[in-house]
Amino acid sequence: MPASTKQEGTISKILILNSNFKVIKTLNSNSDIEAFSQYWFSKQEHASSEKAPGHYKIDIYTTNSNNRYLYNENGTVRLLTKTMTPEYQIHNFKSFNKLLGIVE
């Protein structure tokens, strides 16, 4: 069963795009979405870094909304909005990067 939260709804698809907006991977199987969710829903807010906002984009499609996040290969992620949003850290980001198709 796909992962979900009340606010975000059930995740149906995740697209990972590079800096040129080229899709590098699509996660849409239940097993891929479950693996993604284990990392995603355990991320923790932390102080913003001085690094650029994100080389990669993660588009998350749910039953309630679609959102784009800016992601760095160091595991930091931030929701793309017009206003400043908190930055989060993905734990075990090297494994997360493999799941996303990001190779160093």
Q: What is the dihedral of CA 73, 77, 79, 83, to 10 degrees?
A: -110
For residue range 70-88, what is the model confidence (pLDDT) as tens digits?
Answer: 999 999 999 998 888 899 9
What is the per-residue pLDDT across 14-68, written as a single tens digit (0 to 9) for each? 999 999 999 999 999 999 999 999 999 999 998 876 665 678 999 999 999 999 9
Q: Domain locations in the chain?
A: 4-100
Write the class of the CATH domain 4-100: alpha beta
Residues in the chain: 104
pTM of the model: 0.86
Question: What is the C-alpha end-to-end distance of the chain, expressed in Å?
Answer: 31
Residue 3 has pLDDT above 60, yes or no: no
- The predicted structure's pLDDT at residue 75: 93
